[in-house]
Amino acid sequence: MNTYDITTELAHHIRDIPDFPKPGIVFKDITPLLANGPVFRRCIVAMAESMPRHIDYIVGMESRGFIFGAALASHLGIGFIPVRKPGKLPHDIHAIEYELEYGVDRLEIHRDALSDHHRVVIVDDLLATGGTAAATATLIRQLGAEPVAALFVIELDSLQGRQKLNDMKISSLLHYRE
The catalytic position among 64, 111, 119, 162 is 64
The yes-or-no answer on residue 155 being catalytic is no
Q: What residue ranges define each of the domains in the chain, with the CATH number in brackets?
A: 51-176 (3.40.50.2020)
Over residues 91-139, the pLDDT tens digits come to: 999 999 998 777 899 999 999 999 999 999 999 999 999 999 999 999 9
* 3-class SS of residue 82: strand
For residues 96 and 86, the answer to whether their CB atoms sit within 8 Å is no
Residue 52: is its pLDDT beyond 80?
Answer: yes
pTM of the model: 0.94
Q: Residue 157: how many CB atoms within 10 A of its CB?
A: 13
* Mean pLDDT in residue range 147-172: 96
The catalytic position among 53, 101, 177, 178 is 101
The yes-or-no answer on residue 101 being catalytic is yes
pLDDT class of 66 with cuts at 50, 70, 90: very high
Which H or E element spans position 43?
helix 37-49
